[in-house]
Amino acid sequence: MARTKGIGQGAGSNLSLAGLVGRAFGRLGRAGGLVFLLAGLALSGWGAYEGAYAAGWAGTHGTLTVKQCELNSSLNTSRSSRKKRLNVRCEGTFASEDGKSTDVNAAVQVRYKYAQGTELSVQQADAPTTDTSTDGDYTQTDKPRGWRFFAAFFGGWVLTGLGVFCLATGYAPFGQSRISYDAAWEAAGRGVTRPILIGMLGVGVIGAGVSFLVSYFV
């Protein structure tokens, strides 16, 4: 009898351990889903913001007449790939297209050095706080680059859709998952999760592809 009892206790312990592992992987799947969701929203927000200014759709459009351009050593040492590409600081005078705003202390980060007197098409994101301050914020107008930012915006939809799927089903797309993909997909079909996932993936992939193509023709 003692032997039978020991076997029963061992089986119970195994089931208990399996339950703990299962719950842990379920939480892991939802935690991963939350990470995907937040990353997707952040990527979409960043792409939309940067793209709107680069494409000339946001801010005050105008011209920055270059006085001087110089390499910015602090940006050259940055690990940010965006800052490494925009490693030249050009200073000059900004005049808005409508003639209502000027800034003699304007500066913009660009990829290349420009000769004195060159007129750069820019967007003023933030006006300087005073006539003598140098805290105005400018972005060079570059429609191809803007459309590549829009591709990032749509790419964020893909991550967001995956995040919704993992949060709703508990499926973990990495490592061992408590819930199989087939079971998660079947569960997603019982409500609105599957249509949301398919819609976001479709819009994200198609939108990103079209935006990249457009960037080569604008």
Tens digits of per-residue pLDDT, 80-99? 444 446 689 999 999 999 98
In the sheet that holds 137-140, the strands lie side by side as 102-110, 88-96, 60-71, 119-126, 137-140
To the nearest whole percent, how much of the chain has pLDDT over 70?
78
Query: CA angle, 20 as apex, 17 and 26 as ends, to 5°?
Result: 140
Instruction: For the chain, give the longest Cα–Cα distance.
Output: 98
* Residue 2 clears pLDDT 90, i.e. is over it: no
pLDDT band per the 50, 70, 90 thresholds, residue 179:
confident
Using CA atoms, how far apart are residues 183 and 200, in angstroms rounded to an integer?
A: 21
Using CA atoms, how far apart are residues 105 and 111, in angstroms rounded to an integer?
A: 20
* Residue 132 clears pLDDT 50, i.e. is over it: yes
Which among 71, 69, 135 is positioned nearest to 103, based on CA atoms? 135
Which among 213, 211, 200 is positioned nearest to 40, based on CA atoms? 200
* Residue 100 clears pLDDT 50, i.e. is over it: yes
Which among 197, 205, 72, 215 is positioned nearest to 143, based on CA atoms? 215
Q: To which H or E segment does residue 206 belong?
A: helix 193-215
Mean pLDDT of the region 10-14: 46
pLDDT at res. 188: 86
Tens digits of per-residue pLDDT, 29-85? 678 889 999 999 999 999 999 999 999 999 999 999 999 999 876 544 444 444 446
21 or 29, greater pLDDT:
29
* Residue 20 clears pLDDT 90, i.e. is over it: no
Which residue is it, tokens 């200014």? 53
